[in-house]
Amino acid sequence: MIFNCLIKPTLALVFSLVFWLMTNSQPAYAGYQMLSTINKDLIALETPHLSGLIPVKNNQQELEVKPNGYDRLDGLIQKDLFFGCNVPGEEEVCEEDFEEDFAEFVDSTITPNFPDGLTIFDAQRRIFEAEGKFPDGRKTIIEEPSKVKVVTLFIEDTPTNEMALDEIVRAYLQQFNQGSIWQVTNKDELKIGFELPVIIDSDPTPELIAADLFFGRNIPGGGQVSEKQFAEFVDSTITPRFPDGLTIFDADGQFRQSPTDPIIEEPSKVVTIVFEDTQDNENALDEIIEFYIEEFNQQSVLWAVNEDIAVRFVPNRDPIDNDPTPELIAADLFFGRNIPGGGQVSEKQFAEFVDSTITPRFPDRLTIFDADGQFRNGADTIIKEPSKVVTIVFKDTQDNENALDEIMESYIQQFNQESVLLVVDEDLEVAFKASRIKYSEQQRKKT
């Protein structure tokens, strides 16, 4: 779970693609935009990509962490679990105490299995059914958005960890009376670590890749990195190195530093950047991490680099390899909400756009989350704007590729945008963890 490029004042995304776009005869937009790994996605949800900090381990064996806090976590994969709270057969899709109940579930069930680190994001989802279809056969919304929690883990790809994940899923389905949980796995071309330098496979011809940086906000000895302090850090340290686009997500992370240490919970910031895989950009990531550690007395910053993505900013650029046998892939769409000339795309307007344009084309697996984006416009000015990131999991067919083009074109025209950033990851494993067991209201309620 989760990119950036050149794109008008429209998204919360991160890339340094100006020269890349120029060399590829792309139109010169006012700015760039970034994407996030999320990566992060399935049924019908809304969530931000990752959050969390510090080491994640094997379910049974600790990963060795160097004394200085830096460590390269080779062989880890990313798991995103989507926990919904809709109540089958009832009008009320979420109980008022879901936040408290889920926090207790994390403490009692997820943390004991994966105590060394995880990230939690808030999300929303809509429920769809085949009844009451659109004239063209597409599905309709049958319930209002409900809450979703997305938990991101970086873990070893072992049978022991898979068994632990299955136990978590079974426990959640029973405790919260759910029918299923989506699980997305990213393991190809994914590098994760706390160690510096960040390791990137620089190609002779630079290609676009994505990086997620996880910044914990607790300060050893007391206090937290404030919103103002983090914003100043972005302006002074990250933006000068990646001025053309980046995306920032809020998240809640937890970690422990050794098997005998207590679990530490902290608010986090996740910054996603899409950029060319050059040595200069690799050095820039190292400098950002080093400065944050020094300025806020941190032990480490978690980084995750995905080197197997496709990026585009305008429709009809053919970023998807359509397989003879369709396979599930994931796409992140970054929608900036500033409107040229003044104003913003409102929450209501965006919700209507999702219902009228995105949902009819991808009714089963979409996630929406809020983000803060920034980009550099044609006047070389950094522009900040609220953004929406929509993650969709779908089969890599030509029809679905055409549907993505239609969505991008519609948003650009309707809200006078210059571009919409699209990031595609074609090497994911998607599992639908379901249970046939139904639980009564009495079993679901607290005693």
Q: What is the pLDDT of residues 101-159, one digit of tens each?
A: 999 999 999 999 999 889 998 877 655 544 443 444 444 444 456 678 889 999 998 99
Section 398-407 average pLDDT = 92
Residue pair 147/94 in contact (Cβ under 8 Å)? The answer is yes
Q: Per-residue pLDDT tens for 340-366?
A: 888 999 999 999 999 899 989 998 767
What predicted TM-score, i.e. pTM, was given to this entire model?
0.71
Residue pair 217/292 in contact (Cβ under 8 Å)? The answer is no
C-alpha torsion 321→185→362→2, nearest 10? -90
Section 372-376 average pLDDT = 86
Under 8 Å CB-to-CB from 197, ≥6 apart: which residues? 282, 283, 286
Displacement of CA 195 from its chain's centroid (Å) = 22
What integer pLDDT is reported at residue 82 of this predicted model?
86
Q: Per-residue pLDDT tens for 39-87?
A: 332 222 222 333 333 333 334 333 333 333 334 456 788 998 988 876 5
Q: Per-residue pLDDT tens for 234-272?
A: 999 999 999 988 989 899 999 887 778 888 899 999 999
Is 445 exposed, middle or buried (CB count within 10 Å of its CB: 0-12, 13-18, 19+)?
exposed
What integer pLDDT is reported at residue 426 of this predicted model?
77
What integer pLDDT is reported at residue 216 of this predicted model?
94
Is 23 exposed, middle or buried (CB count within 10 Å of its CB: 0-12, 13-18, 19+)?
exposed
Displacement of CA 31 from its chain's centroid (Å) = 22
What integer pLDDT is reported at residue 316 of this predicted model?
64
* 3 state SS of 191: strand
What integer pLDDT is reported at residue 271 of this predicted model?
94
pLDDT of residue 215 exceeding 90: yes
Higher-scoring residue by pLDDT: 407, 192: 407
pLDDT of residue 214 exceeding 60: yes
How many percent of the chain have pLDDT more than 90? 33
Section 11-22 average pLDDT = 34
Q: Encoding tokens for residue 370?
A: 């809020």
Q: Per-residue pLDDT tens for 127-139?
A: 554 444 344 444 4
Residue pair 257/62 in contact (Cβ under 8 Å)? The answer is no
Under 8 Å CB-to-CB from 86, ≥6 apart: which residues? 93, 94, 125, 127, 143, 146, 178
What integer pLDDT is reported at residue 203 of this predicted model?
74
The mean of the pLDDT values for the chain is 75
Every domain of the chain and the residues it spans: 1-447
How many percent of the chain have pLDDT more than 70? 70
